[in-house]
Copies of this chain bind each other. A is one copy, B any other.
Amino acid sequence: MTTIAPHDPAARELFDEMARWPIYDPHSHIDAHRPAARNLDEVLGYHYYTELAHSAGMPAAKVAPELSPAVRVRNLAENLHSLDNTIQYSWLIEIARTFHGFADDRITPDNIGTLYDRADHSQDGAAWDQKVWDRTNLEAIFLTNDFDDPLDGWDTRRYVPCLRTDDLVLKLHEPSTVERLRRSTGLDVQDYATLREAIGVLFGRFVAKGARACAISLPPDFVPHKGTPLRGVTPVRRALHQMDLRPDEHDEIRKVVFWTIAEFCAEFRLPFDLMIGPIRNVYPAGVAGGRDLFDRRVSLHDYRELFNHFSGVTFPVSTLSPDAGPELVAYSWIFPNVVPLGHWWYSNIPAYIADDLRARLQAVPKSKVVGYYSDAYKLEFVLPKFNMFRRVLAETLAAECLRGQGWSADRALELAKMVLIDNPRRVFRREA
């Protein structure tokens, strides 16, 4: 058996049915040009493994980019024992079993060589991508595309574009941002007016290419509000010309660009995924991808003006700090355009998923609960992550709905299907 099913028979029955369904994955970091891992290094290089091994004492140099893939993998294999308790390790085992015929309980320096060879698909190219896609039973997976991504060369109904706007909002003052913006739009961006025009061009291109969402990750101290155009114009112009900026000018720029993007989401009828909470580079000496953390003192109350103003924009929201979960339940319960979206990063472990999911299923209209996304960088991770969520969902439904409310299994599965498939399909559809 390649995945673990729930132990409780009622939950197992629900899980077994869900395991037959296709997966609709509304947020990932997949590269559509290289979706599956060509070798084990592309699996083990996932920041969860490098950061946990580093946290357990492995020097960052052991996974440095200049090392060969085989050496990096071997170095990690020597350190995996210290994290074989984690849920992230369980994804790894499930990948090894499902995709590479691995049969042992743990990955060790002794069996890593064989596993490395079995996971070598450097010669298989797109055929391997297709194999992983089929085995995963993927229906569609959303990407996270830089604003200057040409979006060419793949089937955008399967690998669905999503416009990531972090750079525009948070790094407008960096020379490369405006340079990329000018190049990708062909516009001579010099001030707020031309910036706005350029952003409109980006939205037009993304939508024409089949984008179904706009997305951004925001630090906990960000408070969106509708600035006066006059206040924002000068700082934006100064940023576009790399002039020195005061902290309040940086903040004004973030606000005015963010609000402008929300306006385009309204105009183009794109859901705007808000990933709220990360602070970048809290631990600069960490491994790549393992440097960001958060400050738990954050509240969705800071987003009230946004949610009220853009009543026509759907905001699928993920919050990073696990203890902020109940607030998202309350805001989704009241605001029609706030939708709880999956379980993110530091909140993406069964302990926190179970608590949040139970509350969402008890208090948010079922048509609004968007169950899960993989956040994956390689296709292989989609299945074990979704299986983790499907286990928690099955156990929650068995406890709360079957035993707790006397529901039939069919009624519970109807709810599961909404949460897993129907809702993401509907929330992220774009009507003509």
Q: Give me the interface of A with B, judged by CB distance under 8 Å.
A: 4, 6-8, 51-57, 82-88, 90, 105, 279, 282-286, 290-291, 293-297, 299-301, 304, 307-308, 311, 321-327, 329-336, 346-347, 349-352, 355, 358-359, 361-368, 400-401, 403-406, 411, 415
| Between-chain CB contacts (< 8 Å), 21 pairs | A52-B333, A55-B336, A55-B364, A55-B368, A82-B367, A86-B362, A86-B364, A282-B304, A283-B307, A283-B308, A284-B308, A290-B334, A293-B330, A294-B301, A296-B324, A296-B327, A323-B324, A329-B346, A346-B363, A351-B358, A351-B363
- Give bound CA distance, A153 to B120, whole Å: 64
With a CB–CB cut-off of 8 A, which chain B residues contact A359? Answer: 322, 349, 351-352
Identical copies of this chain, number: 3
| A334 CB contact (under 8 Å) in B105, B283, B324 | B283
With a CB–CB cut-off of 8 A, which chain B residues contact A291? Answer: 334
- Give bound CA distance, A368 to B401, whole Å: 32
- Give bound CA distance, A88 to B90, whole Å: 37
Contact A330 B294 (CB under 8 A): yes
Q: Which of chain B's residues has its CB closest to A84's CB?
A: B366
Contact A299 B296 (CB under 8 A): yes
With a CB–CB cut-off of 8 A, which chain B residues contact A296? Answer: 299, 301, 324, 326-327
- Give bound CA distance, A370 to B362, whole Å: 23
Contact B365 A86 (CB under 8 A): yes
With a CB–CB cut-off of 8 A, which chain B residues contact A311? Answer: 285
With a CB–CB cut-off of 8 A, which chain B residues contact A403? Answer: 7-8
Minimum CB–CB distance for A326 against chain B, Å: 4
Contact B365 A346 (CB under 8 A): no
Contact A363 B326 (CB under 8 A): no
Contact B285 A308 (CB under 8 A): yes
Contact A56 B367 (CB under 8 A): yes
Q: Which of chain B's residues has its CB closest to A345's CB?
A: B330
With a CB–CB cut-off of 8 A, which chain B residues contact A7? Answer: 403-404
Contact A326 B346 (CB under 8 A): yes
Q: Which of chain B's residues has its CB closest to A105's CB?
A: B411
Minimum CB–CB distance for A384 against chain B, Å: 12
Minimum CB–CB distance for A113 against chain B, Å: 23
With a CB–CB cut-off of 8 A, which chain B residues contact A285? Answer: 308, 311
| A405 CB contact (under 8 Å) in B4, B56, B327, B352 | B4
Contact A366 B85 (CB under 8 A): yes
With a CB–CB cut-off of 8 A, which chain B residues contact A336? Answer: 54-57
- Give bound CA distance, A215 to B400, whole Å: 34
Given A283-B335, A333-B346, verify A365-B56 contact (CB < 8 Å). yes
With a CB–CB cut-off of 8 A, which chain B residues contact A308? Answer: 283-285
With a CB–CB cut-off of 8 A, which chain B residues contact A90? Answer: 405
Minimum CB–CB distance for A350 against chain B, Å: 6
With a CB–CB cut-off of 8 A, which chain B residues contact A8? Answer: 403
